[in-house]
Amino acid sequence: MRTLVYTAEIDDRFGAGKVSSRIGLSSPAALFNAQTQLDREIATEHARQPVHCVLVDECQFLTRDQVKALSDVVDNMDIPVLCYGLRTDFRGELFGGSQYLLAWADKLVELKTVCHCGRKAGMVLRLDAEGRPYSEGEQVVIGGNERYISVCRKHYKQAIEQGSLDAIYGRQEPA
Ligand SMILES: [Zn+2]
């Protein structure tokens, strides 16, 4: 089985052109940006050597046209396309790619992460360099000091309202 693996050019957490899983497996990956003509690239590869499957990581960064192009790969070339990514950003807004994947995908599988309280962690908090949550600013920040944690909706709201993680982890005593 030959699988073409793509990941977003924007994501450099694991070094360029590599998709890694949390259990330590990794695979080389082609990079896509908003200009990448995915259907053409896949057709070219398929003509060279048959492609059995396409995997797109960080699919929230796909454009509407690219999601359409991937649906053409499924419908016209009969190649299954699996996309993996985030539903919403740190403001609770849909990513563009995710919006159209949610609308047009044949099958949706929700991978569950758990908030520290045990509820489903469906929201993403962005933390600044001091670890304070905030919900303003650009959807994508490259090379900043912010980090992200997954929390449930209730604790997302509390963290944004309070501007701290106290509601999630309890108040930290000063060391
Ligand atoms: Zn929670």
- Residue among 62, 49, 13, 8 nearest 30 (CA): 8
- What residues pair up with 18 in beta bridges, in sequence order? 28
Spacing, Cα 14 to ligand 1 middle (Å): 28
Spacing, Cα 119 to ligand 1 middle (Å): 6
Spacing, Cα 157 to ligand 1 middle (Å): 10
Helix and strand totals (H; E) in the chain:
5, 9
Spacing, Cα 127 to ligand 1 middle (Å): 16
Q: For the segment 108-155, what is each residue's pLDDT rounded down to a tens digit?
A: 999 888 999 999 999 999 998 888 898 888 777 766 677 889 999 999
pLDDT at 82: 97
Spacing, Cα 107 to ligand 1 middle (Å): 27
Sequence-separated (6 or more) residues with CB below 8 Å from residue 91 = 135, 136, 139
- The pTM of this model reads 0.83
Query: Residue 27: enclosing H or E segment and its boundaries?
Result: strand 26-28
How many residues can be counted in the chain? 175
Q: For the segment 28-78, what is each residue's pLDDT rounded down to a tens digit?
A: 899 999 999 999 999 999 999 999 999 999 999 999 999 999 999 999 999
The pLDDT-based confidence of 167 (bands split at 50, 70, 90) is confident
Mean of pLDDT values over 154-160: 94
Which of the residues are catalytic? 58
Spacing, Cα 143 to ligand 1 middle (Å): 28
pLDDT at 34: 93
